[in-house]
Amino acid sequence: MFVFSQIFAGLALITVIISILSKTKKNILLYRILNTIFYAASFAFVFRWVTVGNLIFGSVRFYVYYLYKAKGKKPSLHILITFILLLIAMSWAMWHLGIWTEWIEIPIVFVSFITAWAFWQENETVIRLIMLLATSCWLYYNIKTSNYMGIVLESIIQVFQVIAVVRYDILKKESLIKER
- Report the predicted TM-score, pTM, of the whole model to 2 decimal places: 0.78
pLDDT single digits (tens) 99-129? 877 788 888 888 888 888 888 888 888 888 8
pLDDT single digits (tens) 125-171? 888 889 899 999 999 998 988 888 889 888 988 998 899 889 888 88
Expressed as residue numbers, the domain containing 103 is: 2-179
* Contacts for 59 with CB less than 8 Å, ≥ 6 apart: 33, 36, 37, 40
Task: Provide the number of structural domains found in the chain.
Answer: 1
pLDDT single digits (tens) 14-55? 998 898 888 788 888 899 899 999 999 999 998 888 889 889
Contact yes or no for 165/125 (Cβ under 8 A): yes
